[in-house]
């Protein structure tokens, strides 16, 4: 009798945990889709006004890093409150605004619009591929996080250095590496939600959004370099 009660209790706990994971994953996907709206709005405003084109590479990097880390700090602080979602959406608007400089450059190419759509499609394919893998891979991927974080730090340092070096070869290399690392981060972050390690859908959305943003930006940069048609 006691064993039966324990078995039923274990099943109930397992069902509750499964429901919680599904709810976090579902909310993450919804918020991720919603975050695209302010991103597109910010990018459109940036392209139309040319606001970010007035910034030098050095000043642009300072504004980008300062704004991004400021927003991420605020998101972490308010992730459990009602302010978390508006702050996240404000962050995605800012990221769209900062992306507008690259978008404006690509749109200046003869085939700029098609390159942007190709980059968008490629990013979507990577996302759906990584999301599908989360249901196939059963092993714990938590050990990946440390190595990928080190990779991101190295990319960041090398990217800042390249502002002064201005090496096209290094820029291309960093873009290729960034696409690989952030694609892996999409898998890692979604797997953490499915495994129940990440229980907050706001921070889960933040992680996946940052990865998608970086995949798209670097993919678009490579397409512009190798596939851009100039007048």
Instruction: Give 171-222 pLDDT, tens digit per residue.
Output: 999 999 999 999 999 999 999 888 888 899 999 999 999 999 999 999 999 9
Instruction: Give 42-63 pLDDT, tens digit per residue.
Output: 999 999 998 888 887 778 888 9
Please state at what angle helix 84-107 crosses helix 201-227, rounded to 10 degrees.
Answer: 0
| Cα 32 to the center of its chain, rounded Å | 10
Report if pTM > 0.85. yes
Q: How many domains does the chain have?
A: 1
Measure the CA–CA gap between 108 and 230, rounded to whole angstroms.
8
The first and second tokens of residue 4, run together, are 């039966």
Task: Please list, residue by residue across 8-22, b when 16 or more beta carbons sit within 10 angstroms of its beta carbon and e when fewer do.
Answer: eeeeeeeeeeeeebe
**Residue listed under structure tokens 């978008």:** 103
Asked if pLDDT for residue 231 goes beyond 60, the answer is yes
DSSP letters for 150-179:
HHHHHHHHHHHHHHHH--HHHHHHHHHHHH
Range of the domain at 57: 2-227
Give the model's pLDDT for residue 5.
45
Task: Please list, residue by residue across 209-229, b when 16 or more beta carbons sit within 10 angstroms of its beta carbon and e when fewer do.
Answer: bbbbbbbbbbbbbbbbeeeee
Question: Average pLDDT of 104-128?
Answer: 93
């Amino acid at each position: 009798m006691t064993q039966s009660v324990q078995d039923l209790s274990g099943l109930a706990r397992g069902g509750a945990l499964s429901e919680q994971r599904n709810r976090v994953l579902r909310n993450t996907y919804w918020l991720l889709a919603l975050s695209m709206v302010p991103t597109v709005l910010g990018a459109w405003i940036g392209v139309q006004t040319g606001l970010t084109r007035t910034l030098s590479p050095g000043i642009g990097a300072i504004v980008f890093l300062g704004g991004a880390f400021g927003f991420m700090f605020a998101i972490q602080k308010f992730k459990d409150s009602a302010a978390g979602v508006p702050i996240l959406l404000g962050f995605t608007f800012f990221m769209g605004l900062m992306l507008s400089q690259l978008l404006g450059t690509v749109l200046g190419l003869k085939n700029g619009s098609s390159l942007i759509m190709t980059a968008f499609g490629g990013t979507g394919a990577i996302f759906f591929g990584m999301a599908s893998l989360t249901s196939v891979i059963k092993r714990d991927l938590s050990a990946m996080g440390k190595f990928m974080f080190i990779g991101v730090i190295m990319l960041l340092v090398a990217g800042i250095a390249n502002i002064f070096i201005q090496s096209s070869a290094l820029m291309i290399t960093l873009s290729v590496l960034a696409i690989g690392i952030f694609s892996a981060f999409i898998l890692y972050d979604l797997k953490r939600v499915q495994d129940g390690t990440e229980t907050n859908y706001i921070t889960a959305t933040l992680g996946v959004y940052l990865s998608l943003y970086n995949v798209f930006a670097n993919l678009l940069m490579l397409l512009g370099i190798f596939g851009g048609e100039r007048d």
